[in-house]
Each structure stands twice: as C-alpha cells, then as structure tokens.
Amino acid sequence: MRVLPVGDRALLVEVASGDEAQALHAELLRRRAEGSLTVGEIVPAARTVLLDGLADPARLASELTATELPPAPPRAREVIDLPVRYDGPDLADVAAHWGVPEQEVARIHAATEFRVAFCGFAPGFGYLTGLPERYDVPRRATPRTAVPDGAVALAGRYTGVYPRSSPGGWQLIGTTDAVLWDHARVPAALLSPGTRVRFVPVGHS
C-alpha cells in the first residue's frame, strides 16, 4: 500500500489489485459509518481509493500504512438485472477474439454475475468485473466519435454501459434500454461500487 498526499485535505491510497481496492473501500466505509473516520468523499478506482475532506491527512496516512486490511465483506445487495439485446456492431470481432460463435459471446456474458468495481468516465458509468481474464478484449484501434446511450461494451477486463452518447473506444456487443443516470431519481445513478449486475438477454441475439 502506498499513500500519497493530494492537496491539503486529501489522500490517494494505491494498492496492488482491484480486489484490494474494493476491500480498502469497504473498510473505509465501515470506519466512517462507525464514526472512527471523518471524511467527505471516499472514491474507489481500479487500484486506488481517494479520500477527500480529511482534517488530518498525515495522521491517517500513518495509520493506513500500518494497517493490514481485512478481505472485503460479501455484499448483501440485490442483483440489478439489465435487459440487453446482443446486437452490437463489434459482436463478431469479440467472437473472433474469443474464438467462439457470436451467440456464444451472448451466452457467456449473460451467464456471468458482474460487480461494479468503481464508477467514472461519465455520470452513471460503472466499470463491471466478473468475466474471467481469458475474455479480456482490447479497445478499438480507432475510437468511435459517438457511441449511443445504452451501448453495452467490453474493454480489457471490464464491461460497461454508456449512460449517454459520447465518444468511446470500447467494443460494443449489445444495447440496453435501462436508464443508468436519471436526475429525477434518488440516487441518480442506477449503479454504484459494489452493486451486483446481471445482463438478461431480450429480443433478437
């Protein structure tokens, strides 16, 4: 674990893996809930956790580096089902990369339970893990200037759903009508770190 100061009131904690980042995030949330940690924001990423709004960052940095983190507790959250049509323009490329027929890409993806590792890129966008490492796929050599909202996509070890139209270089394998970000909803984001997600095939695949 490496703890880096960020400005006067924040720390960036670097760890070795995504699992360790999730465990650290869970432990920091637990400490805040019990009142032993006063912090404004706790923001997980792939292998880091940012803590902002700290009164004494230096003291906390010393405590963290001397702490052995427990494993992340199991999440008791319900699973969010996202309906998906496996009709993406990159489905054939992903199938070729995996060495399977196109319909097998849909079957493998839909049979996987995902978990939101962290959020970012755009409001409502979650980086979902769950596929085995052998199904990693590269980003497109040339990103698209506009990916439609609701596009279900793969890049590296992650699955994501574009909450709004934006440029992007992920491999598009499907489409969902689920609303990932809604200002009128509380919370506005459908997905948050730790959320369990399943993709449920609908329509033509």
Q: Could you read off the pLDDT of 75-126 as tens digits, one per residue?
A: 556 789 999 999 999 999 999 999 999 999 999 999 999 999 888 777 889 9
The pLDDT, as a whole number, for residue 72 is 63
d(CA 203, CA 185): 27
What share of the chain in percent tops pLDDT 70? 95
pTM of the full predicted structure?
Answer: 0.70
Q: Could you read off the pLDDT of 157-172 as tens digits, one per residue?
A: 999 999 999 999 999 9
The pLDDT, as a whole number, for residue 10 is 92
What share of the chain in percent tops pLDDT 90? 56
DSSP states of 123-174 = TT-EEEE-S-GGG-BPPPSS-EEEEPTTEEEEEBTEEEE-SS-EEE-SEEEE
- SS percent in the chain: helix, strand, coil, step 5: 20, 35, 45
